[in-house]
Amino acid sequence: MPRWAGARSWIAGVPGTTLGIGTTAVLAVLGSRVTLALFVAGAAVLVALTARASLKWPRPVLVGVTLSPILDRYLAPGVLAPEAEWLAHFLSEALLLVVGLTLVVQAARRGTLRSALSHPTLAFAAAFIGLAIASAVINGVPGTQALAGIAFTLDAVALFFLARVVGFDSRHALGAIAAVAGLVLIAAVIVIAQALLTPHLLGLSALVGRFGEVYRLAAFFGDPNTAAAFLSAAIPFALFGATGLRTQRRRRIALAGGFLMALALWLSFSRGGWLGAVGGFSLAAVILDHRALRIGLLVMAAALVVALAMPRYLICDTCDDRPDLFGSTFGRFGTIGEGRDLRLLFIGNALPIVADHPVLGVGPGRYGGAAADIFGTPIYVQYGTDSLFIDPSQRTVDDFWLHLVVESGVVGLLVYLAAVGAALRAVIHAARTAALGRRVALAGIAGAVACLSINALTTMLLEANSAAFLFWFLLGIGSQLTIQPGGDLTAQAAAAPA
């Protein structure tokens, strides 16, 4: 068989299907400017076409579903009529639900569903749901709010099992990772072009930070913290690829890609993204590849030097100020030292709540996340949390782990960590003995999960969609790559439709 025959068979027919889906998306956008009903109809057809495509091309479609939050949260609001924007936020959730049900039914018919679900993460996720229900009952949380709180915290876990349902061997896994990394690399190039030419390149928006960051750049993500999250998740694959890929040419390409993404990360001014990328990658590399650690830290340092010295805003006459990475960061540290940092204020406010509800928390949807914002909560009034939300744009506590421990208690937090750890531990163990591309994929997954976990200390990354989809999807792929050739999931992947 020719070298690329397998890859061609995987994507054969995808361009035509993509064109049909893309055309439907354009018609839905145009319809939103006429009436909301046309947008809803177009979105429904889009979801149906995607679900149908998943029957023939489950892996590319699943990658698309994983990345769909970028479309509905960051791209759609800029092109849709205002009255349709709030509905667009549910598009990725609808895709996950309908495509997920389609793939699960197909797996049940093939008789492979049971093996796909056979993983300790399922038991821990079920235990988390049971504890959340018990907490809701004990704390008297309304049913709708409790359901929303549980769903916003756990819905992305479905992608872990859907990756196992469709089957990813090493070749498929590397293809999926390349698609994600390629999209992030495009965003990185756009960010660098924004810094060199004008922050408003291609009509994109740019933010001025509260500590003099001119400008915080994010390409098509819109939100620099989200852009930094995706960059931090992709960088480990490039840096581990710089030492682990088969040929010198591929290693050099990976190194160049890692540098560009690291440069874009510094330009985002996302301190949480910086912490996640450096800390998460370093942690994974210390365990798995000391050579990658040395090269990775050199790449990050070189990218920082370039970010400080590079020319700025060459075609922007009104952009006179150069950003001050160090000055703005010290400004942030100053607020921490003075006790004025909002995230630390949220932690201080949460300590009495945890002390009063240490085991099962205050109940799902009652603190810190989107559900508490949508439905309201007496906890905010009782403990004075509402007095901290003085910024109208501040809707969450910007700390996923704080949100989790307050809502779910120490027991719920430990069970959630066990669900992640059940998959991550096997990934790390397998990465130590794997070779070449499979090793790069496994090490990169471990690094990406570590980066996003650390980054989630400063934002709500793992709630609802957005980066949470990518987090659990990568763990699902990793759970299959831990199976040695000849294992049951490898055989399942080979038997699944291309």
User: Per-residue DSSP letters for 291-319?
Assistant: HHHHHHHHHHHHHHHHHHHS---TT-TT-
| Residues ≥6 apart with Cβ < 8 Å to 472 | 156, 157, 158, 159, 160
Q: What's the whole-number average pLDDT of the chain?
A: 85
Any alpha helices (H) in 140-169, and if so which ranges? 143-154, 158-166
Burial class from Cβ neighbours inside 10 Å (0-12, 13-18, 19+) for residue 79 reads: middle
Tens digits of per-residue pLDDT, 283-339?
A: 999 999 999 999 999 999 999 999 988 888 888 877 766 666 655 554 454 555 445
The pTM score is 0.89
Percent of the chain with pLDDT over 90: 57
Q: Would you state the structure tokens that stand for residue 140, as one six-digit string?
A: 């008297």
Domain boundaries of the chain, sorted by first residue: 14-111
Q: Between 68 and 237, where is the model more confident? A: 237
Q: What is the mean pLDDT of residues 216-225?
A: 82
Tens digits of per-residue pLDDT, 92-114?
A: 889 999 999 999 999 999 999 99
The pLDDT confidence band at residue 33, using thresholds 50, 70 and 90, is confident
- Residue 419 reports pLDDT greater than 80: yes
Per-residue pLDDT at 340: 57
Q: Worst-scoring range by mean pLDDT, 88-102, 358-372, 419-433?
A: 88-102
